Amino acid sequence: MPELLDERVGFVRRIGLFQATAINMSQMCGIGPFVTIPLMVAAFGGPQAVTGFLAGAVLALADGLVWAELGASLPGAGGSYVYLRQAFQYRTGKLMPFLFVWTAMLFIPLGMSTGVIGFVQYLGYLWPDMTPGQGDLVGLVVTAGILALLWRRVENIARLTVVLWTVMIASVALVITAAFTHFSPERAFTYPAHAFELTSGHFWTGFAAGLTIGIYDYLGYNTVAYMGAEIRRPGRTIPRAVLTSITGIMTIYLLLQIGTLGVVDWRDMLDPHSTASSSVASAVLERAWGRGAADTVTVLILVTAVASVFTGLLGGSRVPYDAARDRVFFRPYGTLHPRHRFPVLGLLTMGAVMAAGFLLGRHTDLATIIQLLTTVMVIVQSLAQIAAVTVLRRRQPGLRRPYRMWLYPVPSLVGLVGWLVIYGYADANSPGRHPIEWSLAWVGAGVVAFLAWARYEKEWPFGPKRISEEYLHGADPDAERPGGDEGERGIEGTVGAAGGS
């Protein structure tokens, strides 16, 4: 099969629909739901915690439609970097894409570090005598191992991702099956008094915390958009992969959450000394099928955690590459491995930040890391991309849009409200940690760094704006259709409705 080379960035379009969907779902359903169910219960104070997963699904779908339109029309390496560069170049030059790369180099590996934290947390079920120092060492070894696995050509990675995706599906399917074979509706649906008292400020504080945890669990639906220059027929593949992965994972999460609450008493999840608090899925298997089954599924969950971090770094390492090639980030990040064609420095840097985030989270708590990475992400990526959809429709009306957002602008408005709720309640849900202040400080430091960089490079505001509309006038990547479309057969019919018009 012929390979499609994106000459502008040096990547080859090798990844089809099935592999793209597997990459997304592996990143979304990693260790997240297995470690955050107790956090969600703590946020809501009871089994009404399922509300958080439902709210997260609504926000993920709304935001997914934003990613679908932008990813289909601007299929370049780096995802948000490309979208913000194209949309905001007319007024603020390269400020927005620079700030995105600046923040992404922090929030993407911080998100991956939570997967390694969860790995060590579940390993504790199999290794109950593990000391904190041994746990730290295991996490660092896992980080190094994932970097070694990513040190290869992307088509080999895509095949490996499908294998990891299969393990992920098996692990969640076994947990769900075990839960519903020993399911107690009374345990799952008996709520404490005033659980849904909407006039209470406590409810809305808990709801915002639950929404933050919920959207954290869904994050990953945008992974293939970061790899837009490596996706075959991106105008069709990216929207379908995004929307299919969200709807699939939404079903899995709801079954997992409800099933778990029907087996494990939610009060046990709040006890830090209980297995239900640290390894709730293992607790479900042990109570339903015994210790042997719990040990086996715990091993599958550990593989799932590795799969999530693996695919997250795969997509995230592409972010600084396109920026460096466009001279909006440090130029060494614009170099690909001469043989395997992957961005070397981006991968190594994010691996190092991930290792630091893992150690930070191990010695604070997981909820704090989630709040910090989410608040940093909201300002420059989430809110800015919602604006970018409208800006691009006005600035580049002739841009090819193989997919257009359904019911525009309703999803944009739903996404806007959701992200503002998460950001506005961040300090209240992380007392003493000040995530809002830290996020503003990090963005402020990025503005200072941008001004210093712009002065050195003689870019706006110290030089002329350089307008680039290469996607408006460039070749259509969907027009070239290599024979076979390996990986898309067998799934095309099931996701055809996601294509839009």
CATH class of 13-432: mainly alpha
Residues 445-473: what's their mean pLDDT? 89
pLDDT band for position 157 (50/70/90)? low
Query: Is the pLDDT higher at 442 or at 154?
Result: 442
Chain-centroid distance of CA 487 in Å reads 23
Q: What is the pTM of this model?
A: 0.84
Helix (H) or strand (E) segment spanning residue 56: helix 50-73
pLDDT value of residue 155: 56
pLDDT band for position 405 (50/70/90)? very high
Q: 245 Cβ partners below 8 Å, 6+ apart?
A: 21, 24, 25, 28, 220, 221
Yes or no: say if 64 and 246 are a contact pair by the CB < 8 Å rule: yes
Residues 430-435: what's their mean pLDDT? 86
The DSSP-derived string for 299-367 is: HHHHHHHHHHHHHHHHHHTTHHHHHHHTTSS-GGGG-B-TTT-SBHHHHHHHHHHHHHHHHHHHTS-HH
Residue 434 has pLDDT above 80, yes or no: yes
Chain-centroid distance of CA 239 in Å reads 16
- pLDDT tens-digit series, residues 251-287: 988 999 999 999 999 999 998 888 889 899 999 999 9
Q: First-to-last CA distance in the chain?
A: 29
Q: What is the mean pLDDT of the chain?
A: 85
Task: State percent of the chain over pLDDT 70.
Answer: 91
Residue 138 has pLDDT above 80, yes or no: yes
Residues 386-395: what's their mean pLDDT? 96
Residue 447 has pLDDT above 80, yes or no: yes
Query: Is the pLDDT higher at 501 or at 319?
Result: 319
- pLDDT tens-digit series, residues 196-253: 888 777 888 889 999 999 999 898 898 888 888 889 999 999 999 999 999 998 998 8
pLDDT value of residue 1: 38
pLDDT value of residue 492: 32
Domain residue spans in the chain?
13-432
pLDDT value of residue 156: 59
pLDDT value of residue 3: 43
pLDDT value of residue 480: 57
Residues 346-360: what's their mean pLDDT? 91
Residue 164 has pLDDT above 70, yes or no: yes
Residue 482 has pLDDT above 50, yes or no: no
- pLDDT tens-digit series, residues 194-204: 888 887 778 88
